[in-house]
Chain A
Amino acid sequence: MYAFELERPTTLADAIKALGGEEAQPLSGGQTLIPTLKQRLAMPSTLVSLTGIDELKGIKNEGGTLTIGGATCHADVAKDGSYPALSDLAGHIGDPHVRNRGTIGGSLANNDPSACYPAAALASGATIVTNNREIAADNYFTGLFETALDEGEIITAVKFPIPEKAAYVKFEQPASRFALVGVFVTKGANGVRVAVTGASEGGVFRWTEAEEALSSNFAPSALEGLSVPADGMIGDLHGTPEYRAHLVGVITKRAVMKAG
């Protein structure tokens, strides 16, 4: 690793001040960032650790909305259970040690195209709360590892409206436990929403054709004959674009079945 300064603020205000410095970068659970630093793929001069800030941690369920602090680890979301599909997703990220460190804010800020949380945020119609503003999930994910966050902007919380029905199914890459294809389906006040992760070169996306079909009939059979084009899907040694496109259909059906 290159040498850098590590700041460990205990308040959000101090963290934002520290992030104002040149080439400063936030560090949340570090489960992606620390290996990246070891490979010298990133070289910030200052890292600002967010995990010592109590106001960024914790989970509140109020009036059907689950608010999760940005620095809340996956294990805490897995244990919470008030949004069962989300807890199920969090409990299957990586391995137990990763879940004790990795955070929801870190995952959403990184926006890995194969990460699980982006699918939950997009399918739930979540709101990403930062130190400056609130961003609807529909406007937040802007591409591969790209988000609407500005330089130095921190995710302070994520607000999830708890839907009537929801489920997440991932076809996992067994070594990394990232999603080869993962689909999060919800049915609630926002209608039916289907978000797909792991598949597209553009990162997480909504499969609107499936949403329309499921709106009139929320059953796996409603998806018969629907498919996504292989064009723009990820192709790597684990699967071709055609294979991933096929999986999107299969996994969406399984998610609908699991949602019940």
Chain B
Amino acid sequence: MTNVTMTINGRSVSGTVEGRTLLSTFIRETAGATGTHVGCDTAQCGACTVHVNGASVKSCNMFAMEADGADVTTIEGMANADGSLGTIQQAFQDHHGLQCGFCTPGMVMTAAALLKENPTPTEGEVREYLSGNLCRCTGYHNIVKAIMAASGQDVSSIAAE
């Protein structure tokens, strides 16, 4: 057992972990931030996506010890300081970018990573960037639309609502 400390959404969190403890487990069970969802646990669905030192990663495919000392942002860190929805979250609500909501934390974290790299992506670039995130409800159209809207672009010509 090893002691690790990381910053999660600006709060320092310490805990004792085994070598095999996944970052997703640490976030959910030690930090209590259960907004990070574990969907497939095989690194395919992307529901567990978080940012580690600014880079998006699948937290079920990284060990907690590997994030020792890191700065981690999860979906709980995406809201505004007053608790209201952040821009990307609000766009998902406005454009019905979710149905059951299970994949949404990963989708929002991925969208945030994309918009940091590429503030005005094309629809094609959004779809390409979402290649590691699966949604089984919406067929992706409204997710893409929400991300385009969050980037401040006109989305009136994009299919589906």
Q: How far is the CA of A52 from the CA of B70 in the complex (A)?
A: 11
Q: Which of B36-64 contact A (CB under 8 A)?
A: 41-43, 46, 49, 55-58, 61-63
Number of A residues, CB within 8 Å of B: 26
**A180 interface contact, C-beta 8 A:** no
In angstroms, how far is the closest chain B Cβ from the Cβ of A152?
Answer: 19
Does residue A41 face the partner (Cβ distance < 8 Å to B)? no
17 contacts between A and B (CB under 8 A): A1-B20, A3-B18, A30-B62, A34-B63, A35-B43, A47-B19, A49-B66, A52-B66, A96-B110, A96-B114, A96-B131, A96-B132, A97-B49, A98-B43, A100-B57, A101-B61, A101-B62
A1 to B62, CA, bound (A): 13
Q: Which residue of A lies closest to B50 (CB)?
A: A97
Are A8 and B49 interface neighbours, CB within 8 A?
Answer: no
Residue in A5, A6, A38, A51 whose beta carbon sits within 8 Å of that of B42 in the complex: A38
Tell me how far the C-beta of B4 lies from the nearest C-beta in chain A, rounded to whole angstroms: 10
A177 within 8 A of B: yes
**Known contacts A4-B20, A8-B66, A96-B56; is-contact A31 B61 (Cβ 8 Å):** yes
Q: A3 to chain B: which residues have CB within 8 Å?
A: 18-20
User: Shortest Cβ distance from A34 into chain B, in angstroms?
Assistant: 5
Chain A residues closer than 8 Å to B58, beta-carbon distance: 97-98, 101
Q: Does B8 contact A (CB under 8 A)?
A: no
Q: Does A164 contact B (CB under 8 A)?
A: no
- Kindly state the interface size class of chain B when it binds its partner: 20 to 34
When the two chains form their complex, are residues A6 and B20 in contact, meaning their CB atoms are under 8 A apart? yes
**B19 contacts A97, C-beta separation under 8 Å:** no
A49 with B65: CB separation less than 8 A: yes
Interface string of B57-99 (1 = CB under 8 A from A): 1100111011010000000000000000000000000000000
**B115: interface (CB < 8 Å):** no
Taking a contact as CB atoms under 8 Å apart, the answer to whether B132 and A6 are in contact is no
Question: Cβ of A37: which chain B residues have Cβ within 8 Å of it?
Answer: 20
Q: Which residues of A line the B interface, CB within 8 A? A: 1-6, 8, 30-31, 34-35, 37-38, 47, 49, 51-52, 75, 94-98, 100-101, 177
Interface residues, chain B, with chain A CB atoms under 8 Å away: 2, 18-20, 41-43, 46, 49, 55-58, 61-63, 65-66, 68, 110, 113-114, 129, 131-133
Q: Which residues of B contact A52 (CB under 8 A)?
A: 66
Contacts of A75 in B (CB 8 A): 55
Which among A6, A30, A49 is the interface contact of B61 at CB below 8 angstroms?
A30
A35-B19 contact given A6-B65, A97-B110, CB 8 Å threshold = no
Inside 8 A of A38's CB, which chain B residues have their CB? 41-42
Nearest Cβ on chain A to B90's Cβ, whole angstroms? 23
Q: Provide the residues of chain B in CB contact with A47, threshold 8 Å.
A: 19
- Shortest Cβ distance from residue B65 to the other chain A in the assembled complex, whole angstroms: 5
Please report the C-alpha to C-alpha distance between residue A25 and residue B68 in the assembled complex, in whole angstroms: 20
Q: Is the CB of B131 within 8 A of A95?
A: yes
Contact: B129 with A96, CB < 8 Å? yes
Enumerate chain A residues within 8 angstroms of B114, measured Cβ to Cβ. Answer: 96
Q: How far is the CA of A3 from the CA of B17 in the complex (A)?
A: 12
A2 CB contacts on chain B under 8 angstroms? 20
Does A30 lie within 8 Å of B63, measured CB to CB? Answer: yes
A7 to chain B, nearest CB (A): 8
Point out the residues of chain A lying under 8 angstroms from B19, CB to CB.
3-6, 47
What residues of B have a CB within 8 angstroms of the CB of A1 in the complex?
A: 20
